[in-house]
Structure 1
């Protein structure tokens, strides 16, 4: 599943098309009619965690010059896109997040994750936002189509069919593959939980990590770590030397701090690599041995009744922490005082 860095890359690809009108459509989507996008203007794009939001307006909703400020010039949007490629600071931690949300969509103080009021048709409001979730294999292609990399089960080399294709007045086009799309109103997000947002709240994240449950469950909870997926989970636990099933409540504050540092560092470096078209090299994910040469263990882990995800870890580099029960049930050893040399034997 595309994780936060990948969705930020999609956002980076879409941004140059903001301010342009859709002049031709296509695609195989049954839930949304591609023809409904004809003549709409792409006015804004936002990203939160694993979700991308695109705002479209019709001709009638773009008022005549003089009635209000016109849409931001395309050149300014291109500049914002270039700004996202700025050189990152030490450990790749500094990232650009200038277009996380639009000014007219205030972020509530509640704990809602990125969401829209979904639907099959544009909402009856001044703003029409398309929410995109990318599932396991979703992607966005710019000015080219995805090609088959291998034959299918029938032996055919058929190219993937895009769900939606939008051609713009500027001459380029966007092709959306294997993504879930729905119309909604202004996106409601919580940037304090987005691992790639400059508004990410470290204190809230540490509080979540300290819960009495396995840390590998907490890391995948999008309420606390929006944008964090299975690859990031495996890599940061290995780099922090923490067993996936270690209870957060048994880990010391310095170890929780170190784990959170790994989350932010790895995610930011992965995003930098995405923007520079560099592959991400993993140390434990889908590996048979760790960098030290130890044999890696693999198992599907997840909460009872919840989704279980394949997890890789090194039993030697990530030793199992004692549980709270084992600590409380450990026998207390009492030292018998030695007899005083001045005590006479009876």
Structure 2
């Protein structure tokens, strides 16, 4: 999935739409009804690590329950309740032994309970998690970069990729946003985030990160732990380890503080450079990720690494530039 720098670029693209109203919707999400965004106002955006949060508020005229996005299913529920009460009045034996339910029955009740659509007047935040090729496009749709297997140059349309919902929002300012390959969910309270773990936040806590890296676990496992390095993904992991000349499977407890500090420095520096390049429209240069040789001309090793029973990620490293430490090596080894 996109890493912290790219998600922050998405946040930058969405921010100009804050203060505008959704006037038209599209997309084919089966889990999130695109029409539920109709007439809502985008009021705020936040970013944390690999997640984007968008706050939508209703228009004052739609705060009432009758005009809320749930009004239609509720009206259907009211009609069912009236029909049921009429039947009970004419036939007392038809009453449920459990009494009247406070939640509409049938599919309408399930829709209310799922929370796919926020209740009228409630604070609502849309949490956006991006898939492997997730992206946001502004005022245009994704265009074909090459011909398909049949030789057709057909543009991809906003639809579900790997069953991940896609959403299109047209705003009152005449622009629109198209979300590709995203997982979306409503939150009914402000997102609780910890900027101290975000590698691109000014409040990133180096001490907390160093403490996590200093454990006996291989450092390549800890780097991908979003509790300590939110926004850090596979590219940053590979590049930071190579620049710090650290083998991916080296236990942090064997590295010593100077090398761990150097590793954190490279994580922050590479991420910041990547983000700067995104804003400038330049390609981020990688030294080891997806390379066959390192800058020194050595053969690169590629292997899937991850904790036992956990997710395995492709990892590139140079055995000569990143030698693996043994338990009897001194911890005070300085980075080269």
| Shorter-chain TM-score tier | 0.7 to 0.9
Classify the secondary structure of the residue corresponding to 2:133: coil
The structural deviation recorded for 1:276 is 1.1
Which of 206, 212, 232 is matched with 1:208 structurally?
Answer: 212
Aligned to 1:234: 238
Q: Distance in 2 between matches of 1:183 and 1:61?
A: 21
> Structure 2 vs 1, CA of residues 226 and 217 (structure 1 numbering), >3 Å: closer, same or farther?
same
| Structure 1 vs Structure 2 CA RMSD | 1.8
| Superposition deviation, residue 171 in structure 1 | 1.0
In the alignment, the residues of structure 2 paired with residue 233 and residue 152 of structure 1 have an alpha-carbon distance, to the nearest angstrom, of 32
Aligned to 2:32: 32
SS at match of 2:45: strand
Deviations 1:188-240 (A, max 9, x none): 11111000111111100000010101000000000110000000000000000
Question: Is 1:122 paired with 2:126?
Answer: no
1:293 to 294, 297, 300: 297
Instruction: Give the 3-state SS of the residue equivalent to 1:197 in structure 2.
Output: coil
**Matches for 1:238-257 after TM superposition, within 5 Å:** 238-257=242-261
- Gaps spanning 5+ residues in structure 1: where? 64-117, 329-346
Q: How does 1:167-246 map to 2 (within 5 A)?
A: 167-185=170-188, 186-246=190-250
Where do 1:57-136 residues align within 5 Å?
Answer: 57-60=57-60, 119-122=115-118, 126-136=122-132
Query: Which structure 1 residue ranges, 4+ long, deviate > 6 Å from structure 2?
Result: none
Q: Which residue of 1 aligns with 2:167?
A: 164
Q: CA deviation at 1:327?
A: 6.5
Higher helix share: 2
**Contact conserved, 2:58 with 2:120, CA < 8 A, in 1?**
no
Instruction: Provide the aligned length of Structure 1 versus Structure 2.
Output: 272
1:145 aligns with 2:169: no
In 1, Cα distance between equivalents of 2:294 and 2:311: 26
Mind listing any 5+ residue stretches in structure 2 that lack a counterpart?
64-113, 159-165, 331-336
**Equivalent position to 1:316, from 312, 317, 320:** 320
Q: In the aligned structure 1, how far is the partner of 2:297 from the partner of 2:283?
A: 22
Q: Is the 8 A contact 1:20 1:168 kept in 2?
A: yes
Superposed CA deviations along residues 116-141 of structure 1, whole A, max 9, x for unmatched, are: xx952225663110000001010000
TM-score, normalised via structure 2 length = 0.78
Q: Match of 2:69? A: none
Supply the distance in 1 between the matched residues of 2:8 and 2:151 (Cα, whole angstroms). 35
